[in-house]
Amino acid sequence: MNPLFAPLQVRSLALPNRIVMSPMTRERSPDGVPGPDVAAYYRRRAEGGTGLLITEGVAIDHPTAVDSPRVPRLHGESALAGWRTVIEDVHAAGGRIIPQLWHVGPLWGAMSAVDPALTPMRPSGLWGQVGKTVYPDDYIARASAPTPAMTEHDIADVIAAYVRSARNAVDVGFDGIAVHAGHGYLLDAFLWESTNRRNDGWGGDLRRRAQFPVEVVRAIRREIGPDLPIFYRFSQHKQQDYGARIANTPDELGLVLNALVEAGVDVLDASIRRFDVPAFEGSELTLAGWAKKLTGAISMAVGSVGLDRSLRDAGTPGPADLDGLLRRLEAEEFDLVAIGRLHLTEPALATILRDGGPIPAFDRARHEGRLY
């Protein structure tokens, strides 16, 4: 059997195959409300055979969660009604769908103009050390200005916002929860030394820096109960600095990931720009491979699957064979494969791969068209 098409059970979620649609921001939900075009977008991928759809990042119920008014939210009557339609359409097509809960944290203001009266949520009021990034100098200059550090009230307020949005997700019928905790966003900012300089229970050594994301997961698990799965996206790199790391050794990574699994995470979504790059010197294991080895939890690989280069590299990505991916999947280095950009090119990607068809070519027009 092609290992991509083996079934997998994650708590109450029965997946028919190992192909997941990776979260991708589309900005086609005016005032945060997903409409019929968003429902059709997700339904097409379910009809195309993808085992699980993870939505684009969705704003939790907090005023500085997301800075674009066209990113969908997971609170408010109209937005929740829109999501019910999305879920009904996906389920009618035989699909499964979970939302990715999102708080941008230090990166508030990167997507669009924001209310200057609102303060971005930053563990220590810092944007983080600047390295290789795609952000323009003028934004970096503004964002690098220190802001007030999060207070205990701020921390409690954000945790409560995650809980409210997770409850909303359950109530409208989603099949689980995904949490965006990578790329320099809020939960990741607590893990990164450059953005977390606190000396209290929320900062200091790595174990204490991990406490905020652990408490978020623990609170979500208490709210949603034991049946639904929690997916957790983490990364080493940040949007502020592609070379940044939260863990310099496997032991450090294991300390963080085991705490998250103990708190209630079921699937570790290991986000990296290329899924097959070794995570640490001296081993060929990928980031997803280390996540599984260190914790025993289900892990998911993501990053330029089916493409010969990252979108951020020079040139247009071309197709790349899946032989290496299939070997790693068959060897059980990781369990799931999240594919982003090729799902934009071809909604029936999973069916094409099942039938042995060619890998679709990257389509920049559809990628930049935001919704297809």
Instruction: Show which residues are catalytic.
Output: 185
DSSP states of 124-172: SS------S-SS-HHHHHHHTS--PPPPHHHHHHHHHHHHHHHHHHHHH
Task: Name the amino acid, one letter, at 162.
Answer: Y
CA–CA dist 356, 358 (Å, integer): 7
Enter the tokens of residue 264.
Answer: 């209630």
CA–CA dist 160, 149 (Å, integer): 18
**270 φ/ψ angles, rounded to the nearest 5 degrees:** -90, 95
**251 φ/ψ angles, rounded to the nearest 5 degrees:** -60, -40
CA–CA dist 256, 332 (Å, integer): 22
Q: For residues 66 and 29, is the Cβ–Cβ distance under 8 A?
A: no
Enter the tokens of residue 337.
Answer: 């494969």
**Chain Cα centroid distance, residue 195:** 19
Cβ-proximal residues to 219 (8 Å cutoff; 6+ apart), any chain? 159, 160, 162, 163
Q: For residues 190 and 105, is the Cβ–Cβ distance under 8 A?
A: no
CA–CA dist 56, 180 (Å, integer): 10
CA–CA dist 55, 38 (Å, integer): 10
Q: Which DSSP symbol is given to 278?
A: B
Residues 338/343/348/354 CA torsion (nearest 10 deg): -40
DSSP states of 177-216: EEEE--BTSHHHHHH-TTT----STTSSSHHHHTHHHHHH
